[in-house]
Structure 1
């Protein structure tokens, strides 16, 4: 898949979010999209997935089917978990009952089969979003902050799932602000800044410096959020009781 001169803005007179982006996602490749909050990462992912149409330029040779997982799953829908997954499978032109059940079991959704989407926690809803994207066996899997809101067990599954899609010949495009990039071996990066996209190796070029800072325990959560919003990887948070996150 290739983005040729792709530009985008919201509204005919809105500011340009992306300008003349030329990047390529090879078949069987993994790309991690990096950048600060508001830089245009989600816009780029939606253009790649076909959720948005470019204001200029064209997306060529998009693989099919596309599995799209937004950062926040739209849970305000009148479906149960199994009803939604069945409906989405039909949208993709197939109802693979075995595939539906396999992802329900693998993602720990079995206890919620008959639960309405609006009654799910954010993390459980995100698992439903991940399942619907994987059921058709995507040729292109697009994940916007896939680790966000997931429990530890589900977070461990994400790199495994990415590897399986790639091994089957699919391509994966994933945004990351949690510092999970290193868990996707072989990935390259697209860094979004000032409306442009720069291609590089996963983890960035050259050596990585780890800087430790100390803040009051009550400020830890806000500090981590601020650092990640600025595009930094947070390796861990520890207190006098040991590593916490």
Structure 2
């Protein structure tokens, strides 16, 4: 996907929020979008998603299936969480049975079972965000865009976001994740886009970047696991 000389402002004669943006993404790539509040991160993501049309320039090669999770999920809708997810699945082309299966799967994975039949306006912000995340994943997207996805989530759900991002990328999706609180440290090896003063600076992923991964397992499995890691050139040690 290409952003070619993209400019955007919200009204004629107003200041340009984005100016001359030239960016490229690839299938399977994870991109973290960083910058201070008000820098234009959400605007950039909405342009990529196709929700905003550039005043100048264009976006080429946008995949047909886009999963979009806004920073604040619009929960003022007359549905229960489950009914909403089924409706969204059907809108995306799933048959009723497949939509119900997908909705149930994400409800279970995101810990939404206690809220399955609760109406959206009655949900907390964090719980509504989980519903927003689920709706974006009912059909595997080829472009997944997450605007501040950790905002309002509980600890268990926050820990799930990197796994979900990794799975989508492994399946060939391009994933864009915005963040202003440092949470994207959970996504090592990602390309970085930094938004400031209407422009975007892109820093490619560093394949030599080092990170630490903690694994908990049964004591009897440790020796064989360490031997496998060492055979792959991975440094590993045991902490009890």
- TM-score tier, shorter chain, comes to 0.7 to 0.9
C-alpha separation between the residues in 2 aligned to 1:177 and 1:158? 16
Q: Distance in 1 between matches of 2:169 and 2:188?
A: 11
1:154 aligns with 2:151: no
Runs (4+) of structure 1 moved beyond 3 Å? none
Work out the CA distance in 2 between the residues paired with 1:40 and 1:8: 10
Taking structure 1 as the reference length, the TM-score comes to: 0.81
Query: Alpha-carbon deviation of 1:202?
Result: 5.8
Partner of residue 165, structure 1: 168
Classify the secondary structure of the residue corresponding to 2:148: coil
Aligned residues: 204
Aligned to 1:176: 179
CA distance in 1 between partners of 2:164 and 2:41 (Å) = 21
Structure-1 residue corresponding to 2:2: 2
For residue 52 of structure 1, what is the aligned residue in structure 2? 52
Q: Report the equivalent of 2:190.
A: 187
Provide the C-alpha distance between the structure 2 equivalents of 1:18 and 1:118, rounded to a whole number of angstroms: 33
Equivalent-residue separation in structure 1 for 2:59 and 2:204 (angstroms)? 22
Q: Structure 2-normalised TM-score?
A: 0.82
Determine the structure 2 residue equivalent to 1:134. Answer: 137
Gaps of 5+ in 1: 207-245
Shift of 1:185: 2.4
Where structure 2 has 5 or more consecutive residues not aligned to the other structure, the ranges are 210-240
Distance in 2 of aligned mates of 1:89 and 1:7 = 33
The structure number with the bigger radius of gyration is 2
Q: How does 1:23-172 map to 2 (within 5 A)?
A: 23-95=23-95, 96=98, 97-172=100-175
SS in structure 1 of the partner of residue 130 of structure 2: helix
Q: Distance in 1 between matches of 2:126 and 2:11?
A: 32
Determine helix, strand or coil for the equivalent of 2:17.
strand
Q: What secondary structure sits across from 1:16 in the alignment?
A: coil
Q: Secondary structure, in 3 states, of the residue corresponding to 1:31?
A: strand
1 CA distance for matches of 2:155 and 2:81?
Answer: 21
Measured after TM superposition, the shift of residue 64 of structure 1 is 2.5
Instruction: Report if the CA contact (8 A) 1:166-1:172 is conserved.
Output: yes
